[in-house]
Amino acid sequence: MALGLAPGDAAARAYPKVVDFLATLDGATEPAYPTYAEALAVLVFNSPANQRHAAVRDRLRARLRTRQLGPANGWKADDASYGGWGYYPRQPKRPAGAIHDDLLSSNLSATLLVVGALTLGGVPADDPALVVARGFVERCQNRILPCPANPCPTDGGFFFSPAVPDSNKAGTLRFGDRDVFRSYGSMTADGLRALLRLGVAPGDKRVVEAADWLERNFDPAQNPGTFADGAEVRRASAYFYWSWTSAHALRAIGRPELVTTRGRVAWAPALAAELLRRQRDDGAWKNDYTEMREDDPVVATSFAMASLLVCRGVITGEYRSHAGSAGVL
């Protein structure tokens, strides 16, 4: 309903049915990615227009809390995944000893969605679950330090997860006697958004470093960052996710014009133009690459439309959010 459809439009009439279907997540068979599904449903139910499902929202929100890889599930402060959320389809109890299941790990993307669902629903940043979540988010940032490498890995950007090396699409970079995860665009936008949702001040060095990385590297045509050799397909596979999360992050930091390594750019018109260029004749969007499932037009089109809505808001000065007026998603 962020499209602002008139009440009599067919899509507007269908919207309550979609919301009612989402309510079946409460007690239904688990979807393929339950953390994503439940967090997105909570975001929908947070809207004042959908308060008839407030009880379902509260149960899903409670279920999201049980999915955190935190102390209640046996995770320890020195675990790489401590405090975050991931893709494990059940309650993620920590096994004794070494962890051999990659699904028993946290990642920045899932963590951002849950943090957004909770905070936009009124959970304060000092909630114990969100305090430990901030620690996980901060472990995903390459903090700025002097270094001789070019590109320098300690650049203020973010990566996907410290727990599963192969899940970081940009790959690794040799730094001294160890490999470090490369920063890349979609995760830096996610990390910046998560920090702000978790109550980190806009002037905090972590936020400033991430915002500066996005400004320098912004590219409307691709997910930016220096990717490892052979990883270009992985870069391309996340284009629509990049467009969606970068639009939200850049709106949040209030920089309508960026000074990038390629020159000045008004990011919202540039991103909107690139997205419209990629729209297919049938009105949908679709990625040629499969890893992020953006080859499914439902996935790609959802990201593209959400990106365009943010771009439109920046261009026109109209702001909409999940916590906004009735009917706004």
How would residue 327 be classed by pLDDT, with cut points 50, 70 and 90?
A: very low
Q: Is residue 5's pLDDT more than 70?
A: no
- State percent of the chain over pLDDT 70: 91
pLDDT of residue 318: 83
Give Cβ neighbours of residue 28 (< 8 Å, ≥ 6 apart). Answer: none
pLDDT in tens, 117-145: 999 999 999 999 999 999 999 999 998 76
Q: Is residue 43's pLDDT more than 50?
A: yes
Q: Is residue 85's pLDDT more than 50?
A: yes
Query: What one-character-per-residue DSSP string does 142-210 give?
Result: ------S-SS-S-SS-B-S-SS-GGG-TT-EEEETTEEEEPP-HHHHHHHHHHHHHTT--TTSHHHHHH
**Global confidence as pTM:** 0.92
Spatial contact of 246 and 181, defined as CB atoms under 8 Å apart: no
pLDDT in tens, 88-113: 999 999 999 999 999 999 999 999 99
Spatial contact of 312 and 251, defined as CB atoms under 8 Å apart: no
Q: Mean of the per-residue pLDDT values for the chain? A: 91
**Averaged pLDDT, 178-206:** 95
pLDDT of residue 329: 32
pLDDT of residue 148: 64
pLDDT in tens, 258-298: 999 999 999 999 999 999 999 999 999 999 999 999 999 99
Spatial contact of 238 and 223, defined as CB atoms under 8 Å apart: yes
How would residue 150 be classed by pLDDT, with cut points 50, 70 and 90?
A: low
pLDDT of residue 30: 73
How would residue 21 be classed by pLDDT, with cut points 50, 70 and 90?
A: very high
